Structure 1
Amino acid sequence: MPDPLRLVCFVSGGGTTLQNLLDRCADGSLPARVVGVVSSRSDAFGVERARRAGVPATVAARGPGFAERVWDAARGFAPELVCFAGWLHLLPIPPDYRGRVLNIHPSLLPAFGGHGMYGRHVHEAVLAYGAKVSGCTVHFADDTYDTGPVLVQKCVPVLGEDTPDSLAARVSAAECEAYPEAVRLIANRLVRVEGRRVIVSGQGTAAKG
């Protein structure tokens, strides 16, 4: 068996996505290990989740040189893959990490993505539009919001009685499956990127949820 994939998670808030990955690593269902956490806020509960799991965490102070501090902190953990896990900042991807950074977004991109579209804002927009389906997308991060190549998508229904909170709960459940699936594919060396298409070995087509 190959060594577990070394993950670093970037957090800005509560860290529920981080906790999901920590739990999957701990129960053996994900062939990976979270070796470090980088937070944009000292009071982010994700930092406390890391501490409870025995994972070192670094806080990168906002302000001039923020991006450089974030990536220097990440490099200190020597990750093979970086996972944005509730990371709320546009962050240019340096050359040594291109193709090695994942993000998860609570809609079926390219719909309902872009600047300002995160969390509850996404679910409100989905309901206001009258969409019949929503879901989540795991994609490779690039230098703009929600535009990198798609690795995994999961679809959920939008129900007539949905509120932003009820839709968010359904999407969150899908996210809990989609992100580990995406990391598992990479850990098993099954993924290659050709332009905008992400090819998974054995499927022959771009990965879909």
Structure 2
Amino acid sequence: MPPVGSQQHPRAGISRLASGLPHSTHEFIIREGSRTVQTQPLPDFSRRPVRLGVLISGGGTTLANFREFIESGKLEAEIAVVVASRPDCKGVARAAEAGLPCVVHGRRQFDSVDSFSGAVFETLRRHDVDLVLLAGFLSLIQIPDDFACRVLNIHPSLIPAFCGRGWYGHHVHEGVLNRGARISGCTVHLADNEYDHGPIILQEAVPVLDEDTADTLAARVFEVECRAYPEAVRRYISGELARQGNRIVRKPDPA
């Protein structure tokens, strides 16, 4: 099924406000009939190529997928650094083979989420990262203020279904099958300091077949993840989106 993104809605009038926030676009007031909704600016990603920090805990297949999109010219970005939460994960070897800077911050080396998060984001700052991609990163992190709205995550279900604490990897697909759901998919969203909680950027659905196992469903979902995540990043860095409460919407045309 095609990606489900933000749709631009008819509106009676639009006015634009200058924003004093650093690294931001303009704010807009959208008037829809009698309702007035203010959109919030998202970070400015006008620098090209956009510098990505990719956080991994496993095989690095999403990392490899982004490399393919970047090298084919489909995404104006570069991978500035890979951060791994496990020294023995296959993604570390993938990064080394690709010649990408890779820093391992083993979660067990830190006594708290705060100290672990501090080390991770200090590495991202040191490598001048614009946008952070969680790519199978299984360790909880706390996002600091200077990275607010600059961390994206992909989840292998249609949020808000089958998400939150404990819902990851095959646990998700087994849950979908056990519940008898007829549709599943993936969700790319802004990450915040709650599991699978931030505003949704893009979703793509797949059917659940009668003969599916967790493995076959996972493979079908991963196939759409491979195009949905890069496309969500492309949209997010394009400057065409804005935040409206807990929604990501297309930025209105200037009046």
Normalising TM by the smaller chain, what interval?
A: over 0.9
TM-score by length of 1: 0.93
- Report the TM-score when normalising by structure 2: 0.77
SS in 1 for 2:184: strand
| AA aligned opposite 1:169 | A
Equivalents in 1 of 2:158, 2:179: separation in Å? Answer: 14
- Between 1:177-186 and 1:47-56, the stretch displaced more is 47-56
Name the % identity. 50
The answer for the alignment partner of 2:48 in structure 1 is 3
**Partner residue in 2 for 1:160:** 210
- 1:200 is matched with 250
The alignment partner of 1:135 has SS state of strand
Which residue in 2 is equivalent to 1:118? Answer: 168
1:161, distance to aligned residue in structure 2 (A)? 0.6
How far 1:2 moved relative to its partner? 5.8
SS state at 1:58 partner = strand
Q: Does 1:98 align with 2:136?
A: no
1:27 aligns with 2:72: yes
Q: Deviations over 1:165-185 (max 9, x none)?
A: 000000000100110001101
Aligned residue among 109, 113, 131 for 2:159:
109
Deviation of the 1:202 alpha carbon = 6.8
Following the alignment from structure 2 to structure 1, what is the Cα–Cα distance between the partners of residues 237 and 71? Answer: 15
Aligned-partner Cα distance in 2 for 1:177–1:202:
26
Distance 1:40 1:156 in 2: 30
Where structure 2 has 5 or more consecutive residues not aligned to the other structure, the ranges are: 1-45
Give the 3-state SS of the residue equivalent to 1:145 in structure 2.
coil
Structure 1 alignment gaps of length 5 or more: 204-209
User: Displacement, 1:201?
Assistant: 3.6
Q: Deviations over 1:44-102 (max 9, x none)?
A: 11111111222101011322221111111111111110000010012111000010000
Tell me, yes or no, if the aligned pair for 1:32 and 1:187 is still in contact at 8 Å: no
Q: How does 1:22-101 map to 2 (within 5 A)?
A: 22-62=67-107, 63-64=110-111, 65-101=115-151
CA contact (8 A) 1:135 1:153 kept: yes
- Alpha-carbon spacing, 1:2–1:99, altered in 2? closer, same or farther (3 Å): closer
Check the 8 A contact 2:241/2:251 in 1, yes or no. Answer: yes
Match of 2:227 among 177, 186, 208: 177
Question: What is the CA RMSD across the aligned residues, in angstroms?
Answer: 1.4
Give 3-state SS (helix, strand or coil) of 2:55's partner.
strand
**Is the contact between residue 25 and residue 33 of structure 1 (CA under 8 Å) also seen in structure 2?**
yes
Residue 200 of structure 1, CA deviation:
2.5
Change (3 A) 1:202 1:50: farther
Rounded Cα–Cα distance in structure 2 between residues aligned with 1:146 and 1:2: 28
- Which structure would you say has the larger RCO, counting Cα contacts within 8 Å and 6 or more residues apart? 2
Given that residues 4 and 187 in structure 1 are in contact (C-alpha distance below 8 angstroms), is that contact kept between their aligned partners in structure 2?
no
Corresponding residue pairs, total: 203
Task: Give SS of 1:43's match.
Answer: coil
